[in-house]
Amino acid sequence: MPGQRPIQSALISVFYKDGLEPLVRRLHDLGVSLYSTGGTQEFIEKLGLPCIAVERVTGYPSILGGRVKTLHPNVFGGILARRNFKSDEADIAQYDIPLFDLVIVDLYPFEETVSSGKDEASIIEKIDIGGVSLIRAAAKNFNDVAIISSRARYAHMLRLLEHGAATGLDTRRQLAADAFADCLHYDAAIAAYFNTDMPSDSSLGTGPSTPLRYGENPHQAARFQGDIDAIFEKLNGKELSFNNLVDTDAACQLIAEWEPSKPVFAVIKHTNVCGIAQRDSLEAAWDAALAGDRESAFGGVLVTNQAISLKAAQKINEIFFEILIAPAFEEEALKLLRSKKNRILLRQKQPLMVQNEFKRVLNGTLTQEADRSNFAEWREEGARPCSDTEAANLKFANLVCKHLKSNAIALVKDLQLIGKGCGQTSRIDALRQSLDKARQFGFSTQGAVLASDAFFPFDDCVRLAHEAGITAVIEPGGSIRDADSIQFCKVNDMALVLTGNRHFRH
């Protein structure tokens, strides 16, 4: 293997000990000398394994209540020394510095401490100094040193050690890239804590960096950075692709809009909702969601807020789909759905609550808060107040429309998406597309409601909606010509709700 380096000594100092035991035992079995400090040293020694205290290397004890343990030239010299570099070798020999070939260091749980609501003194103590320094030093010297900077990579390192106590250059370089990404994420979270106007980048993800088969298209290379196992348990199927991950994210963000008190089922295709419905039973919700657009559902991503029953599985099993996401699966349902080996089944462990969103633009990055608000207001401006049925359907439609690409229109009837227009360059075209979709799948738009992700620049949309039998409309308002749409609704007995919240999605 190019750039092969033996592992003869390892420096280990971690906050999270879970999953560490198999790794340190394997290192010991391979004859690797273990160096450690504090709680990690105690952990290793309790396993009955020999461990050299860092204090023996530095000649100093841990001081300042543990704030200073590893910040010493004898530690950093052993990490940063360049092998086969004569002046470095001379310094190492002169000062009797041990070389470290592997560094296993994670970071204090800063974000977890902030989220727990603890006082500022506790939060400040979880700003790691030595850990970040050790990680950066080892990553900088990737030509000679391997760095494991997260407990999410313990298992990966253990797999590498199956081939012996050595690492290749490509492996060390990738581990260094992962380590710098971990430091970036960590520092951004700290900066966000001190600067309340700057969102944290927690959505960038931390955890293992996993190569994907390819990117959005086969000629594009891609990787995923994050701990997907914290969100899902994969019960069946192939590895998630780039596009699978993008659609799965869209599906989880959508389903998080609904409480699990009533069954909701949705179908996602290219991040857009192509079918969704709420019903009294899961099976009925699936039937209604699929009926919204049977063609687009082919090869789609399915998501629900309920456990998958055998009855539902029997219906779902009739079509080809890529992914099914649910909070649970009945045993018999799982057995049936596993009949297709490539079909991806994901048990969602927790709702996906996105705080911030990121997008590369030009030579920089755009950061914004996630769109978590649905209504700034509920202002009735039509000919009459909404009926209870209309209000329920309008709220449902507004949530659906929020998850369609702009310009977007959603048509809803009886808590079922019956037509949608998305990704159109004009709002009237989005409405035309939604009406065409409804007609294509045999839905009557008489008595339906309409949601728009942004205001109507003209009254052409409410005019066309009225011609189609739509009785109620929800939109943000804010156009200089709002009065035209309001007046048309008043004259034509249409309900109109203005929310004050635009939901552009690009």
Residues serving a catalytic function are 140, 270
Q: Which two tokens stand for residue 502?
A: 């635009």
Q: What is the largest CA-CA distance in the chain?
A: 93
Helix (H) or strand (E) segment spanning residue 462: helix 460-467
Distance CA 504, CA 368 (A): 13
Beta-carbon contacts of residue 435 (< 8 Å; ≥ 6 apart): 411, 419, 445, 464, 468
CA 79/CA 100 separation, integer angstroms: 5
| Cis upstream peptide for 195 (omega within 30°) | no
* Residue 319 main-chain phi, psi, to 5 deg: -115, 165
**Residue 286 to residues 267, 308, 421: CA-CA distances in angstroms?**
9, 11, 21
Question: Could you tell me which residues are beta bridge partners of residue 275?
Answer: 267
Q: How far apart are CA 83 and CA 81, in angstroms?
A: 6
Instruction: Quickly count: other Cβ atoms within 10 Å of residue 95's Cβ.
Output: 11
Residue 286 · residue 309 · CB < 8 Å:
no
* Torsion angles phi and psi, residue 189, rounded to 5: -65, -40
Contact of 304 with 265, CB cutoff 8 Å: yes
Q: Residue 396 belongs to what H/E stretch?
A: helix 388-401
246: Cβ contacts below 8 Å, ≥ 6 apart? 216, 271
What gap in Å lies between CA 491 and CA 386, rounded to an integer?
15
3-state secondary structure of 314: helix
Helices (H), 128-281: 130-140, 154-160, 169-194, 242-255
